[in-house]
Chain A
Amino acid sequence: MRFLFKTDYDQDIRLAKHGGHVFWYSLLGVALLAAPWLLSEYLLEQLVLVCIYAVAGLGLMLLSGFTGLISLGHAAFLGVGAYTEAVLVGMGWPFPLAMSAAVVLSAATGVVVGLPALRVRGIYLAIATLALGVIVEEVLTRWEDVTGGSAGLMVKSPTLFGAAVPQPVGFYYLCLGILVVATLAVLNLLRSPTGRAFVAVRDSEISSQSMGIHLAKAKTLSFALSAALTGLAGALYAHKLRFLSPEQFTVLQSVELLMMIFIGGLGSVHGVFLGALFLITLPQGIAVAKDWLPPAIGGAAGLQSTVFGLIIVGFVLFEPLGLYGRWVKIRLYLQTFPFYRKGTFRREKTFQKTERQR
């Protein structure tokens, strides 16, 4: 067990809390930098996807995990980001400019959703975001002049400083860099007043008001930042896919994003990364497992959706804190071995307390 002797306020403020953090995160950083030499091209492509999903997950986590607002329409922001990027790059805009435009446009869409969201909460908000998701998807399908409709849209390769970003290694570093910057931004936000205000709004709207937090402003801001990050991910996603069609941004995609942060661990930044890793590896795992299963099961079309569903249900029932929560438990078990008490994290049996009035 590690005991921290705190002698300085800075110890609670800085990101790496102790030497262990510095060591392990440096190691992770080195491994990620060396990834192009360590991994096959296919695995590197997957790692790029993990990075992109993690950026989107950071956005959704900020909104759902830290501000407590459930969104069932985040694929819309991903879509807005992706199409903006694709269209602008197609018009010859340089990559950084197009990406900024994608971010701004997504954030603006987020504010638009944030507006009705100010008055509603819980399930009403979930439905409002669902509605937005469907509307955006339909716009992407029907606005054929710009988006190419169902026929799809080709995406040009990104150019940086006048040169094309080499695939896949250059693009990997690009995504990794953006992910690191986005993560730092979110972490900074969370350790400053705005982040605390988000958490306050999540836990009690009444008392956050009485503590001087402007509810409407905090929620709109959370929506805007969340949408901006997801739009950023969308811009990268466009280049990753190289071909966009509206089916990539449906309600199912939104549910997948939600599932990612839930499985990763709601309310933790670590959870975003674990969730993204999980979401990308799961289909691969299923593909591998197919070979071992009898063909009647392995070859069936519904296998993936069944497994996804079972995993969600399993996590809710057995590990509601997600992968990160599980890791915290394992760590505690190891640290306190052999004194870990079985009931340390047991959930209290209770009845449903109403969340209709908050």
Chain B
Amino acid sequence: MSADDAILSVESLAVAFGGVKAVDDVSFAVRRGEVFTLIGPNGAGKTTVFNLISRLYNPMRGRIVFEGNDITALPAHRVAALGISRTFQNIELFEHATVLQNLLIGRQVHRKTALWEEILFLPKVRRQEYAFREHVEKVIDLLDLQHYRDSHVAGLPYGIRKVVELGRALAMQPRLLLMDEPSSGLNVEETEDMAFWIQDINQDLDITVVMVEHDMSLVSRVSHRVLALNQGAVVTVGTPKDVQSHPGVVEAYLGKAAHA
């Protein structure tokens, strides 16, 4: 794969917490337009990789390159401005705000008004609010959130909050979307919807998706390629089918005896 079609490339990334190597020499490249999934047993370092990419953690070694820009040393908010948005494993919404406000915060990186203009609420600010809202409404339509627009997040059921979080990430109009366990805590029906949305997001909105996921049926349904991690190191990369039958992956999940 040449450097051109890689939207994100991670080179020998490593980080340790208190002597434990959480991620150790991980390298991979994500192609523009694909759905790329990280799998692995608990503690394999999948979420840590996400946190490194979105710059919540500092890597000890390695390089992260997004669309040709080295983002290894950028602060988290700058990474967002470049076009990477993410969701969280345990949902990190703005609990005491409405769904609409949450989604509007997704537009934050597109803010073009100065503080004084906002204090005076000049027509320019109003126009910007219209534009933000228009885009947010598209997201609301896509994710069927019309009903919850004015609800406070704190009172919503888990499944809806998960969707709102996805919506907030989409409202940013990212080019790369990181999804940390999109199906965790969802029931079968909601997982089904999620699978459709991931495909829609990927195909219709042209957003490259990197996700961490445990549900193998969802993984094989939506992903183009899968990366298996175990104990902070890459086991294998390939199509969902190849990875699932890879002896190293089977061993990581089931232990040596089961494989033999």
Contact = CB atoms under 8 A, between A and B. Distances in A.
Interface of A: 9-10, 12-13, 185, 188-189, 191-197, 199-200, 202-204, 206-215, 221, 267
B100 interface: yes
A209 B78 CA distance: 9
Given A203-B95, A203-B96, A212 B109 contact: yes
A204 B164 CA distance: 15
A108 to B, nearest CB: 16
Given A185-B119, A188-B119, A208 B105 contact: yes
B113 A192 contact: yes
A24 B88 CA distance: 43
Contacts of A208: 94, 105
Interface of B: 54, 56, 75-81, 85-86, 88, 92-97, 100-101, 104-109, 111, 113, 115, 118-121, 125-126, 128-130, 133-134, 168, 172
Contacts of B128: 193
B72 to A, nearest CB: 16
Contact of A211 (B85, B96, B129): B85
Contacts of A207: 88, 92-94
A193 B111 contact: yes
Given A199-B94, A204-B92, 15 more contacts: A9-B129, A9-B133, A13-B133, A185-B119, A192-B113, A195-B118, A203-B93, A203-B94, A208-B94, A208-B105, A209-B80, A210-B77, A212-B77, A212-B172, A267-B96
Contact of B107 (A193, A194, A202): A193
A100 to B, nearest CB: 14
Contact of A214 (B56, B77, B88): B77
B93 A204 contact: yes
Nearest to A209: B76
A210 B96 contact: no
A212 B174 CA distance: 11
A209 B129 contact: no
A188 B129 CA distance: 12
B129 A191 contact: yes
Given A9-B133, A196-B101, A207-B92, A212 B80 contact: yes
A199 B88 CA distance: 19
A199 B111 contact: no
Contacts of A194: 115, 118
Contact of A196 (B80, B85, B108): B108
Q: 9 tightest A-B contacts by CB?
A: A212-B80, A212-B109, A203-B94, A207-B92, A192-B118, A188-B121, A209-B76, A193-B111, A9-B133
Contacts of A12: 100, 133
A200 B105 contact: yes
A200 to B, nearest CB: 5
Which of B96, B134, B168 lies at the interface centre, i.e. has the most chain A CB atoms within 10 A of its CB?
B96
A211 B94 CA distance: 11
